[in-house]
Structure formats: structure tokens, C-alpha cells
């Protein structure tokens, strides 16, 4: 059994292992885990709480004895279940919270089976320190261009087309599982803040900082997930490209992009009600009527005109002028693909970026 020390996040991708195994409890795993890790807990949430209570209130020795028995039972279940068909040349990487008793016991049993096991020194905590250092304490070297525009200007789909044509992009809304607006909740909910930061760090690690990376111009929060400070600092200083389109084209696009919401009447009504503090009751009533009648383009057009655009104009008033503006008459896929090609062509000169001047 070999202990591995993580000095940088890049060390993870450089490890020659087949499977990364998180042996912490399911709740710990759900809050955050290493990229690509699978969950094989040696203590359930209830078992971990029970052992912890015994340790603190009764006897550390009894807690270790009871915990050891539970770890052995759960490890046996994993050996007879998910690990039953692993061949002799399988190489796992194992970690727990601190790299202590849980991962040590599990890794020892796997090592005795005959697998080449690696154990992360310091466990999850050592990994988390690297995330904090990368996203809170260290300036990012990445060269960003932000894609900005009012609600419904298809910025996320444009990023998809940029990526499809070979450009680098950072999809914060995808990493946060949220479309970035009041109506932007997605099935499955958002990751925890720590999991979001792990997602962001992993995505940044895969990008070449010498190339331009396109990012949607978000606020400092995507839903409930806060953009980490090091990334937010680069985003605030980055040049911008503005996407503009007629309100009717934006309304039509929103109806396509938010079809899941138009199919859920109760959820849509709840989201409209959330706007009551900002608009007269007559306007809210009209929006409800359109939603009930299925007049979704009328609703989307009114939301853009009366709610989103005034707020966007206010936030953009003090911003520097964009690097370029792209006006699109339509927001169909063909138009977005053509716009992506133009952007790549016209921003290929690194001298456009302040960091390269």
C-alpha cells in the first residue's frame, strides 16, 4: 500500500489509478468529493453519528471497537458487491476525511486481497486545501472573454456553439446546474458550494490558460452558488462581447429554452409570485393569466421588457464598452453557429486581450 501526497490539483490527473474511492459517509460524499470518485462508505451516516457519540460521551476505546466491526462489515459488503469482479491488476485510490482510520482500514483490507492500493495522505482535507488555494488565494492565469447580453439572448447556447467549433469555454451555469435567473432552477437542484468549487477547479484545470476562454457574464452568484473569488476577479477585469437581439426573438428563444418550466404550471405560477415585491399586482395578475392560457411568448416578452431589461440596463450602465457587439435578428441554431464562427475568427488575435498587450 502506497501513500500519495497531493501538492497540486494536477497531481490527481497524473496518478495512474483505475478508480478513486471515497469511503466517507454518504452525506460527506454528497457535499463534495474528488472528481470522478465513487462512494463506497465504510460507515453510513447513522453509523458515523453513533460511533461519534460513543467516542465523545462514553469511551474512545468502545467507539473504535464498534467502529472497527462496522467498517469490517461494510467493507465485506463492498468486496462481495461493487468490487466482486475487479481483476488482480485493478489499482484503486482511497481516501476518507483526514486519511486516517476509515480509509486506512479499508485500504489495508484491499491491499491484503492483492490489489495495488494507494492512499491519499491527509484525505479529503488535503484536497480541499488545494481547492481553496487555487480559487481563493492564487490569481488565475486564464485569459477570459465574457459573453454578455440581456435575458434570452441565447448566451449559453452560443457558448455551446463556440465549444463545438473548437473554442475553450467555461460553462458556469452547467457546473452550478442553474440557468442563472429567477426562473433558472434545474431538475436535481444545485450542488453544494464546495461541490461547485470542485467542479469549477476541475474545469479550469482542463483549460489551456494560454488560449482565450469564453465565459457567460454572470453575476457573482449562479443561483445560490457563489463564483469563487479568484475566478470572479478575472471575470470582472475581462473584456466583453455583447449579444443583442429583438425582444420577440428573445421571447421565442426563452420559450424553447425553458420548456420544462412551461410544462409545470404550478412551478411557473410560484416563480411569477416571487416577483410580487417588484411589480404591481395588476401586472402580476396579467402574467398569471398568460401562463394559465399558455400564452408563453407574450409572458416571456413582458418579463424581458418589464423585469429583466431594466435591471440589466442598470447593472450595465457603469460597465466599460464591450469589445464587440453582435446583433442577431434570430436566435435559431444556424444563426448562433454562424455568430460563434465570427467570434472565433474576430477574437483569435491575442493582442485583443488586456493581459497580452
Say how far apart CA 58 and CA 46 lie, in whole Å: 17
- 339 as an active site residue: the answer is no
Residues, the chain: 357
Cβ neighbours around 164 below 10 Å, total:
11
Please give the full DSSP string across 314-355, using - where no structure is assigned: HHHTTSPPPSEEEE-S--SHHHHHHHHHHHHHHT--GGGSGG
The residue annotated as part of the active site, out of 96, 225, 255, 339, is: 96
Say how far apart CA 52 and CA 60 lie, in whole Å: 9
- Angle separating helix axes 193-205 and 123-132, nearest 10 degrees: 70
Nearest to 144 by CA among 354, 357, 341: 354
Nearest to 104 by CA among 53, 64, 131, 132: 64
Number of DSSP helices (H) and strands (E) in the chain, helices first: 17, 12
Residue numbers annotated as active site: 96
Amino acid at each position: 500500500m502506497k501513500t500519495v501526497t497531493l501538492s497540486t490539483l494536477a497531481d490527481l490527473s497524473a496518478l495512474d489509478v483505475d478508480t478513486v474511492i471515497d469511503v466517507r459517509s454518504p452525506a460527506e460524499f454528497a457535499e463534495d468529493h474528488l472528481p470522478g470518485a465513487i462512494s463506497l462508505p465504510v460507515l453510513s451516516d447513522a453509523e458515523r453519528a453513533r460511533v461519534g457519540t460513543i467516542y465523545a460521551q462514553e469511551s474512545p476505546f468502545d467507539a473504535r471497537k464498534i467502529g472497527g466491526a462496522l467498517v469490517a462489515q461494510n467493507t465485506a459488503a463492498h468486496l462481495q458487491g461493487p468490487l466482486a469482479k475487479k481483476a488482480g491488476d485493478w489499482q484503486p485510490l482511497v481516501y476518507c476525511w483526514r486519511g486516517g482510520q476509515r480509509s486506512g482500514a479499508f485500504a489495508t483490507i484491499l491491499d491484503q486481497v492483492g490489489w495495488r492500493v494507494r492512499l491519499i495522505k491527509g484525505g479529503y482535507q488535503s484536497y480541499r486545501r488545494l481547492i481553496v488555494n487555487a480559487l481563493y488565494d492564487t490569481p488565475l492565469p486564464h485569459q477570459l472573454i465574457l459573453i454578455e447580453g440581456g435575458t434570452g439572448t441565447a448566451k449559453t447556447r452560443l457558448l455551446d456553439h463556440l465549444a463545438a467549433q473548437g473554442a475553450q469555454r467555461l460553462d458556469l451555469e452547467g457546473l452550478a446546474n442553474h440557468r442563472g435567473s429567477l426562473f433558472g432552477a434545474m431538475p436535481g437542484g444545485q450542488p453544494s458550494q464546495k461541490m461547485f468549487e470542485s467542479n469549477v477547479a476541475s474545469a479550469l484545470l482542463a483549460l489551456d490558460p494560454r488560449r482565450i476562454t469564453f465565459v457567460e457574464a454572470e453575476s457573482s452568484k449562479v443561483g445560490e452558488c457563489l463564483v469563487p473569488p479568484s475566478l470572479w476577479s478575472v471575470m470582472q477585469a475581462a473584456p466583453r462581447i455583447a449579444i443583442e437581439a429583438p425582444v420577440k426573438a428573445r421571447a421565442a428563444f426563452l420559450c424553447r429554452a425553458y420548456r420544462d418550466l412551461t410544462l409545470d404550471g404550478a412551478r411557473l405560477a410560484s416563480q411569477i409570485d416571487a416577483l410580487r415585491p417588484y411589480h404591481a399586482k395588476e401586472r402580476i395578475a396579467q402574467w398569471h393569466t398568460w401562463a394559465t392560457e399558455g400564452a408563453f411568448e407574450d409572458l416571456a416578452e413582458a418579463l424581458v421588457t418589464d423585469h429583466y431589461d431594466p435591471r440589466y440596463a442598470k447593472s450595465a450602465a457603469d460597465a466599460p464598452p464591450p469589445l464587440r457587439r453582435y446583433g442577431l435578428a434570430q436566435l435559431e441554431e444556424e444563426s448562433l453557429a454562424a455568430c460563434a464562427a465570427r467570434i472565433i475568427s474576430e477574437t483569435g488575435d491575442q493582442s485583443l486581450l488586456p493581459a497580452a498587450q
